[in-house]
Structure 1
């Protein structure tokens, strides 16, 4: 399975939180990452998105074919993310467009074995895959790509 974690791009400050839109910079970040994804995406990619405006705008820079999942919202947690995406047993690939701190905590769990306060920058993408070697399941970080490097 491939699991891609994409933190929403930069959004305006304010309230209500769920209605915050991307800034012009955030729109550029989302378009650049979407272009990279179009060039490098895994086959059979399912896109799951938080219900907030900023995450839907981020996902829409890449595709109109995404599923809104309430468990991926700003108050989401690692257990909800894992249940939504089916890691590590689902087949194919899943792109999750979501929020801190849950995305960072999930990245920490996948790489270190325990949740920690890791940060995924706004607009950045972390791509994980899993494999079995010598009877042991391993998690592999394929890329950690901040939007600024595109």
Structure 2
């Protein structure tokens, strides 16, 4: 299985009374999402399963891909690392799963898989962390396949 964690792109700060889940992407965030989506679309398999938090900024980020996706409450702003892993089907799901979500939870997921414990790993807005788990002669250990910021895409 391969799990791609995509942090939503830059969002508005929101004014008084604006629900957190309603915050939208800024113009910079829309550019970040488009750039990363272009890169991802070149390499994602056609059968990639795509899950998104229902928050507006994550939905707008994943919409840049132009692919079918499913929103899942388990990926919302109050999600847990274990909840995200369960929604993605880690480690038993087949193929590739792309999860579009939030900090600090995506950092917790990455650190849990790679380091074995939840730590404060920071994923920048619009960036991805690609983790794979494949059996080899060293065991079935997850490993970092790629970490890429939106600012490095298409350079």
TM interval, short-chain normalised: over 0.9
In the alignment, the residues of structure 1 paired with residue 54 and residue 36 of structure 2 have an alpha-carbon distance, to the nearest angstrom, of 20
TM-score (norm 1): 0.97
In the alignment, the residues of structure 2 paired with residue 16 and residue 138 of structure 1 have an alpha-carbon distance, to the nearest angstrom, of 39
In the alignment, the residues of structure 1 paired with residue 45 and residue 106 of structure 2 have an alpha-carbon distance, to the nearest angstrom, of 20
In the alignment, the residues of structure 2 paired with residue 2 and residue 42 of structure 1 have an alpha-carbon distance, to the nearest angstrom, of 11
Structure 1, unpaired ranges of 5+: none
1:68-106: per-residue Cα shift (whole Å, max 9, x none)? Answer: 000100100111001100111100110000001110000
Residues 1:25 and 2:53 are matched in the alignment: no
User: Which has more strand, going by share of residues?
Assistant: 1
The CA deviation at 1:131 is 1.0
DSSP 3-state at the match of 2:142: strand
TM-score (norm 2): 0.93
In the alignment, the residues of structure 2 paired with residue 82 and residue 142 of structure 1 have an alpha-carbon distance, to the nearest angstrom, of 17
In the alignment, the residues of structure 1 paired with residue 149 and residue 45 of structure 2 have an alpha-carbon distance, to the nearest angstrom, of 19
Residues 1:63 and 2:87 are matched in the alignment: no
Q: Which runs of 4+ in 1 moved over 6 A?
A: none
DSSP 3-state at the match of 2:25: coil
Q: Is the 8 A contact 1:31 1:61 kept in 2?
A: yes
Look up the match of 2:11.
11
Matched residues, number: 150
1:27-79: per-residue Cα shift (whole Å, max 9, x none)? Answer: 00000000000111134200000000000000000024100000100100111
